[in-house]
Amino acid sequence: MSDQTPLVPATRAGWGSRVLLWCAGVAVRASLVVSPRPASASEPLLLVMWVHGGGWVGGSKDELSGYFKLIASLGYLVAGPRYSLAPEHHYPTPLRQMMQVLDYLQSSAGRLQIDPDRIVIAGDSARAQIAAQLGALVTTPGYARAVGVTPAITAAQLRGLVLACGPYDLALARQASTPAGRLFFKALLWAYSGTRDFQHDPAFAAWSVAGNVSSAFPPALITVGNADPLRPHSELLADRLRATGAEVDTVFWPIDHQPPLGHEYQFDLDTQPGQYFLDRMLTFLRQRLAVTSFPEREPR
């Protein structure tokens, strides 16, 4: 086990004032941007782009708006892009769209007052896989060509990844813990890949991020609950990253933790584990984005 995580006293974040802005001009639908202050402020904001979950076939950025506002209240600009969903749109369309979002945010850096040289990409559930792929696309030699996606940012701009409860390996997808789980995951990947025989489709093989990482992979914070059926994916990715010499930090809860922590446990801020991961993530953001002056979260 990579990290025997202790519990800490629960805290509640102060909300502060935010401004909601809608981005436009990208091929995907508008992206929600949450800023901690009016756009007339002079100092550029550090960018956190969060790719929401939903199994490649659903989900919405709006479901995470409160979480985005919480992060933004501490001094970040948070972008929550929308993207085209399967089965109407197939892999690697969302990857191309996320690169378009990054390109748009860079071109609008002056208007939105973003520091385009300090970016963290985060993702949860299925979209943690997309966030991880974005990291590999800008750091693993030859990977962007194999996937067919042109990076919109450089490795130097991408300061880190936050990966929560994601799937990262096709072989593990075939080994889900229950028959129902295997059938469910197969249906999702069939929809996303566009082919029933996705396991033997050469064009889809690069989906397995765990097999396409290098020592240059962005520093990553990876978490998963002890009762999450996708836990083996996070453990494998962390092991592969360490084997390459990449920088990785984990919040992996003990197998016997009670109560059991299921899929997407991190969003339940009424629990100590949810609060603990939030604090670890905010520390990761400060360290990776080299920020020392952000306000501390207010105690409950």
- pLDDT at residue number 28: 34
CATH number of the domain enclosing 82:
3.40.50.1820
Low-confidence stretches of the chain (pLDDT < 50) are: 1-31, 39, 292-294, 299-300
| Domain tally, the chain | 1
Helix H segments across the chain?
65-72, 93-107, 109-112, 126-137, 143-147, 170-173, 179-193, 231-244, 272-288
Whether residue 4 is contained in a domain is answered as no
Tokens of 122: 């985060």
Question: Which residues, including other chains, have CB under 8 Å from residue 178's CB and lie 6 or more apart?
Answer: 229
**Residue found by looking up tokens 């592969």 in the block:** 240
Whether residue 158 is contained in a domain is answered as yes
Please state the φ and ψ torsions of residue 205, each to the nearest 5 degrees. -60, -35
Please state the φ and ψ torsions of residue 185, each to the nearest 5 degrees. -65, -35
User: pTM of the prediction?
Assistant: 0.85
Whether residue 279 is contained in a domain is answered as yes
CA pair distance 234, 268, nearest whole angstrom: 19
Tokens of 74: 């501490």
Q: Using one digit for the tens of pLDDT, what is the confidence trace for 201-236? A: 998 999 999 999 999 999 999 999 999 999 999 999
- pLDDT at residue number 199: 87
Whether residue 76 is contained in a domain is answered as yes
Strand partners, 121: 49, 161
Whether residue 108 is contained in a domain is answered as yes
**Residue found by looking up tokens 């901690």 in the block:** 36
Contact present, 265 and 273 (Cβ < 8 Å): yes
Q: Using one digit for the tens of pLDDT, what is the confidence trace for 51-65? A: 865 656 655 556 688
- Which residue range(s) make up the domain with 99? 19-288
Please state the φ and ψ torsions of residue 120, each to the nearest 5 degrees. -120, 135
- pLDDT at residue number 88: 78
Question: Which residues, including other chains, have CB under 8 Å from residue 110's CB and lie 6 or more apart?
Answer: none
- pLDDT at residue number 126: 87
